[in-house]
Amino acid sequence: MSVDMPGGIARAGGRRPPASVIAAAMRVGGVLGNFVVLVVFARIMELASFGALSALIALAAFLSVPAVRGSDQSAIRLVAIADGKGDETRAAIQFLRRRTYVGSLVFGGGMMLVGAVLGLYGEAQEATAVIATGATVAPLALIRVTEGSLRGTGGVLSALVSTNVLLPSATIVMALVWALASGWHLDTIEAALARLIASVATAATALGILAFRMRQLPSHSFGLSTHKIARDHGRATFWLMVVGVSNAALTQLDVVALALIGSAADAGLYSAASRLAISMNIALVAVNFALAPAAAPLFGRQDIEGLQRAVTRAARLATLFAGGLALAMALAAPLLLSIFGPEFSDAATPLRILAIGYLVSAFCGPVGTVLNMTSAQRSSGVVMLVAVAVDILLLILLIPPLGATGAAISTASSMVIWNVSMAVVARRRLGVDATAIGWRVKDAR
């Protein structure tokens, strides 16, 4: 007997895992892949150069989110609405791609302009690294919108290949090849160029995969106008875009702020601690991806008890995993950080502080997914905007006196505010306790 699973994969007799499980595994692989990328760079670069590169990578990743302007999320919906009709799908993808080109020109071009100004003031090396990183914004943005388009056409697994497999792998290969050619050492410019080449190659591959899928669609039209696409895009994605930009700010701006307000060496130490702490989120990433397709139908049927059971299981799994890693980080932080190099043991205190924030995040469960998948994006967006404001304020106040420790306190505090507040919103609005406690809520507002 065959049962259709999300993403078009059939599960026959239990011999083939659901597509959601494979997709979650790929997301986890992406987290681990990005961890390996930073380890490789840390091992072949000086600490200050590694810190500068970490800040540039974080800034490019952040800018790629507003550059897309919600097109990655909108692509999932608009392409799915086209329902396999070739002309409608092409029209939606072309519209979203044009928006991405414009956004990339604004944000990536702006970063490149900053690099050009630095060059005018005699900072040639810094200017080249900034320009190369600014050029990375466009391929990163294209990867995001192409992934959304592939998910809209039902190619969930194809969509996840780019960010979670190809980009980390290509970056590692380029870094190692370049390091081998230059005596096993990279400076910031060489590393930024390696990242740029890897991003361009990944974007080209993703576009090729999408073009292959598009050729398989029939060519007939039922009048999906550009005006209607634009209208639906704006209605559907504004708050999702706010959530995406806010989430990128909370996860990327701490490294950037530390490099600007503190020092590049501190940014390097903190980046290693941050990447190690993010590994606590692996289970939460997996359950979020698996829960997302089920949350909306359960809420749509008003099956709050079913939704509560699914959310509680996810939160408890995430908390159990994060708790084990938090204990390891508390007891053996210097040893774990030595993966990046012996000098990184100085980041033990920031790592322990960040571990507290990620443990709270895991305990609060997949609350962001629950809110976004149940039409509560606006509430989620407002909470995250407040958390970003708190984070930026604390970064400005705490980095000058405390350095990397101050950045860790800022990030952990904003994570606690963000997750606890959204858990309260989910409880009051949806009647769902998203935390690992899983108390049943009788009445929701």
Averaged pLDDT for residues 207-215: 85
The answer, yes or no, to whether residue 339 has pLDDT greater than 60, is: yes
pTM: 0.85
Averaged pLDDT for residues 303-314: 87
User: Could you report the per-residue pLDDT of 81-101, keeping only the tens digit for each?
Assistant: 555 555 666 777 787 788 888
Confidence of residue 350 (pLDDT cuts 50, 70, 90): very high
Nearest-angstrom CA–CA distance, 315 and 191: 38
pLDDT of the residue at 416: 95
The answer, yes or no, to whether residue 3 has pLDDT greater than 60, is: no
Nearest-angstrom CA–CA distance, 256 and 264: 9
pLDDT of the residue at 142: 92
pLDDT of the residue at 338: 95
User: Could you report the per-residue pLDDT of 367-405, keeping only the tens digit for each?
Assistant: 887 887 666 677 778 888 999 999 999 999 999 999 999
436 touches 316 (CB < 8 A) = yes
Confidence of residue 289 (pLDDT cuts 50, 70, 90): confident
Averaged pLDDT for residues 420-435: 89
pLDDT of the residue at 12: 40
The answer, yes or no, to whether residue 335 has pLDDT greater than 60, is: yes
Output DSSP code: residue 262: S
CB atoms under 10 Å from CB of 165, counted, come to 15
3 state SS for 45-81: CCHHHHHHHHHHHHHHHHHHHHHHCCHHHHHHHHHHH
The answer, yes or no, to whether residue 225 has pLDDT greater than 60, is: no
pLDDT of the residue at 218: 60
pLDDT of the residue at 409: 97
The answer, yes or no, to whether residue 226 has pLDDT greater than 70, is: no
Averaged pLDDT for residues 15-19: 57
**Residue 102 to residues 64, 66, 92, 142: CA-CA distances in angstroms?**
12, 11, 16, 11
| Least reliable range by pLDDT among 115-124, 170-179, 315-324 | 115-124
| Least reliable range by pLDDT among 10-14, 53-57, 243-247, 321-325 | 10-14
Residue 4: phi, psi to the nearest 5?
-70, 135
Per the model's pLDDT, the better-predicted residue between 431 and 394 turns out to be 394
Averaged pLDDT for residues 145-151: 83
User: Could you report the per-residue pLDDT of 102-114, keeping only the tens digit for each?
Assistant: 989 999 999 999 9
The answer, yes or no, to whether residue 200 has pLDDT greater than 90, is: yes
Taking alpha carbons only, the member of 5, 32, 3 closest to residue 286 is: 32
Per the model's pLDDT, the better-predicted residue between 80 and 318 turns out to be 318
> Of all residues in the chain, what percent are helix, strand and coil, respectively (each to 5)?
80, 0, 15
Residue 155: phi, psi to the nearest 5?
-90, 65
251 is written with which tokens?
């996860």
| Least reliable range by pLDDT among 39-43, 150-154, 271-275, 435-439 | 150-154
The answer, yes or no, to whether residue 255 has pLDDT greater than 60, is: yes
Nearest-angstrom CA–CA distance, 428 and 419: 14
The answer, yes or no, to whether residue 117 has pLDDT greater than 70, is: yes
Averaged pLDDT for residues 12-21: 55
Averaged pLDDT for residues 117-132: 88
Can you tell me whether residue 220 is helix, strand or coil? coil
User: Could you report the per-residue pLDDT of 229-245, keeping only the tens digit for each?
Assistant: 555 555 556 777 787 88
- Arithmetic mean of pLDDT over the chain: 84
pLDDT of the residue at 27: 79
45 touches 265 (CB < 8 A) = no
The answer, yes or no, to whether residue 219 has pLDDT greater than 60, is: no
pLDDT of the residue at 120: 87
The answer, yes or no, to whether residue 1 has pLDDT greater than 60, is: no
The answer, yes or no, to whether residue 17 has pLDDT greater than 60, is: no
